[in-house]
């Protein structure tokens, strides 16, 4: 195992899509050398363009921005794997593809390198089953958009070596993110509590309530962004996949399936529930919010937060609340969903907590 007191210097990211490319850019912004791997140079190009935009925005100085961009090295062949301190897989959500990739990475990586997956939905035990040593695998689950979302879930599976969790957390803090240790379970913590909230919002749209009205109901509660706009931002295909993973028997919202079938996946395709052609959601007037709509939207999130706590997905109630605030944007002034429920007499923290 790598020395916790020795910061990582080289990160290798496999997958140059939105998540992988932005993880690579963020690591380079924080001063690390990054090798970014994908199948060909054409797949790498959009990631480098986004990175250049991020560096120009954050660093202001063209010379510093150029230096940051120079820290990202295109690596179609994957030569960086053997030199990296941290290896992050960020390819598409397909179990077989991830298993085959990790079988290869395991043979090339240094014995002390951190092997991490950015999966948002596949249990680590299934991915790790392909490894000769499944105990090496840990989850580093970043959130979209990476530059704005500070939380990273540190996911440990049944086989994960316990000492890897503080190692992964140390790396997360090194790149100025907030680590949240969670158990490997469907949806981990954040997607588990977020998906039912988003699905309920979309069912409201199916019933004829305007997306703008649904979003306004959540904003009135104190959410920084409405659930429909958030779903568009996350990606409607991702929302559907996570929803199916959490509740395979549930009927998916009708409008959601129609939009996906038409190739309208939200912000990344310029159209979802909203038109994103300008880079922002084009919204009409919200109108008046029906009585009870806010409570209807928030209730599924509150219920899942309690269930996650009862199942020990995280260590304590404070971490559930922190994950909800930093991962879902749950109204910060409430203190988080469990603190909010406790203030209403609907939740009693386990003995010894709070």
What amino acid positions are annotated as catalytic residues?
A: 120, 141, 153, 191
82 Cβ neighbours under 8 A, 6+ residues apart: 108, 109, 110
Q: Spell out a b/e string for 316-343, using b for 16 or more CB atoms within 10 Å of the CB, else e.
A: bbbbbbbbbbbbbbbbeebbbbbbbbbe
Whether the Cβ atoms of residue 232 and residue 144 lie closer than 8 Å to each other = no
Rg (CA), the chain: 20
Strands 86-89 and 33-37: unpaired
Cis bond before residue 304 (omega within 30° of 0):
no
- DSSP designation for 177: -
- DSSP designation for 78: -
Whether the Cβ atoms of residue 38 and residue 15 lie closer than 8 Å to each other = yes
Name the percent of the chain in helix, strand, coil, to the closest 5.
50, 10, 40
Tokens coding 198: 């988003």
Instruction: Assign 27 to helix, strand or coil.
Output: helix
């Amino acid at each position: 195992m790598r020395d916790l007191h020795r910061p990582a210097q080289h990160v290798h990211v496999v997958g140059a899509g939105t998540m992988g490319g932005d993880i690579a850019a963020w690591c380079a912004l924080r001063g690390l050398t990054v090798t970014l791997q994908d199948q060909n140079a054409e797949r790498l190009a959009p990631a480098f363009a986004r990175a250049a935009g991020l560096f120009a925005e954050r660093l202001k100085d063209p010379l510093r921005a150029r230096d940051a961009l120079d820290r990202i090295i295109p690596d179609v062949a994957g030569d960086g794997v053997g030199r990296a301190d941290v290896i992050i897989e960020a390819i598409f959500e397909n179990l077989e593809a991830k298993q085959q990739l990790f079988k290869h990475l395991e043979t090339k990586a240094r014995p002390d390198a951190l092997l991490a997956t950015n999966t948002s939905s596949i249990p680590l035990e299934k991915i790790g089953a392909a490894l000769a040593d499944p105990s090496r695998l840990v989850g580093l689950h970043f959130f979209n958009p990476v530059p704005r979302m500070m939380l990273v879930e540190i996911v440990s599976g049944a086989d994960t070596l316990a000492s890897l969790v503080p190692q992964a957390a140390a790396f997360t803090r090194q790149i100025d993110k907030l680590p949240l240790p969670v158990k490997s379970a469907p949806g981990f913590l954040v997607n588990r509590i977020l998906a039912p909230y988003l699905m309920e919002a979309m069912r409201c749209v199916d019933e004829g309530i305007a997306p703008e009205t649904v979003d306004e109901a959540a904003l009135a509660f104190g959410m920084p962004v409405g659930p429909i706009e958030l779903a568009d931002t996350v990606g409607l295909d991702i929302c559907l996949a996570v929803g199916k993973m959490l509740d395979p028997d549930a009927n998916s919202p009708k409008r959601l399936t129609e939009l996906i079938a038409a190739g309208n996946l939200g912000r990344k395709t310029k159209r979802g529930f909203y038109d994103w052609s300008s880079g922002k959601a084009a919204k009409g007037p919200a109108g008046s919010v029906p009585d009870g709509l806010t409570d209807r939207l928030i209730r599924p999130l509150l219920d899942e937060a309690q269930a996650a706590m009862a199942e020990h997905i995280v260590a304590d109630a404070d971490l559930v609340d922190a994950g909800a605030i930093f991962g879902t944007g749950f109204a910060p002034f409430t203190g988080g969903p469990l603190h909010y429920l406790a203030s209403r007499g609907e939740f009693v923290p386990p003995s010894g907590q709070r």
